[in-house]
Amino acid sequence: MSASSAGTAAGQEGRQPRLFLIRHGQTDWSASGQHTGWTDLPLNDTGRRQAALLAARLAPMRFAAVFTSPLVRALDTCRAAGLAEEAIVDLDLREWDYGEYEGRTTDEIRETQPGWSIWADPVPGGEAIDDVAARVDRVIERTLRVEGDIAIFGHGHCLRILAARWLRLDPGIGGLLELSTATISRLGWERERRVLELWNDAAHLDDV
């Protein structure tokens, strides 16, 4: 499905786009706190249960477009939600490239880099935060050409930066927006102003 055809889905014409940000279900590394960038890990058992509950939550909703990261944990969450057939795979929605810190926890990194934070400090061999911000800015520009609601399946840090940039704020503001696995967040509008309407909603996950 192309972005141009996505903008004319039934019942969505003439509406400013609202972005439903959906973080993928749990993986072994997200459970352990290891930085998971471009390593292509699958959902674990808990993640698959989360995705099934997420599917039930999303079932009544109708989307003019669906975008997803190409990484399997996001794709499988999108597939479990029943939206894979209409999804557009967007390389700009890949998670932050953590370079030398891939697979390491913050505590492990701080053993040699005291006080290190992904939101403020360098990532050797990986992306700078402004690189990720440039990617999500392109995603936002594509969504603004769609009329109606958009589902975006992605990753914790990347989606947090996307939310900050939707609000036209510094990407580091994403550090203030905790985002758990398999949650739903919504970015929308107050008149012409882009706003945050819902964040880190996990009501559908009560049984996990």
Q: What is the CATH number of the domain that holds 131?
A: 3.40.50.1240
Length in residues, the chain: 208
Q: What is the 3-state secondary structure (H, E, C) of 110-154?
A: HCCCCCCCCCCCCCCCCCCHHHHHHHHHHHHHHHCCCCCEEEEEE
Q: Which domain holds residue 136?
A: 3-205
pLDDT 10s digits, 88-143:
999 999 999 999 999 999 999 999 999 999 999 999 999 999 999 999 999 999 99
Cα within 13 Å of Cα(119), Cβ side: 14
Structure confidence at residue 12 (pLDDT)? 46
- What's the whole-number mean pLDDT along residues 171-198? 98
pLDDT 10s digits, 140-175:
999 999 999 999 999 999 999 999 999 999 999 999
Among 95, 102, 127, 147, the one annotated catalytic: 95
Write out the two tokens for 1: 């499905």
Q: What are phi and psi of 116, to 5 degrees?
A: -60, 140
State which amino acid sits at residue 57: R
Name residue, tokens 């479990």.
Answer: 80
Rounded Cα distance, 182 and 51, in Å: 7
Taking 60 as the threshold, does the pLDDT of residue 8 lie above it? no
Q: What is the number of structural domains in the chain? A: 1
Taking the whole predicted model, whether its pTM rises above 0.85 is answered as yes
| Residue 204 annotated to the active site | no
pLDDT confidence tier of residue 5, bands split at 50, 70 and 90:
very low
pLDDT 10s digits, 57-75:
999 999 999 999 999 999 9
| Residue 86 annotated to the active site | no
Going by C-alpha positions, the residue among 23, 5, 140, 24 that lies closest to residue 64 is 5
Among 24, 35, 157, 204, the one annotated catalytic: 24
pLDDT 10s digits, 12-25:
445 899 999 999 99
Do the Cβ atoms of 38 and 97 come closer than 8 Å? Answer: yes
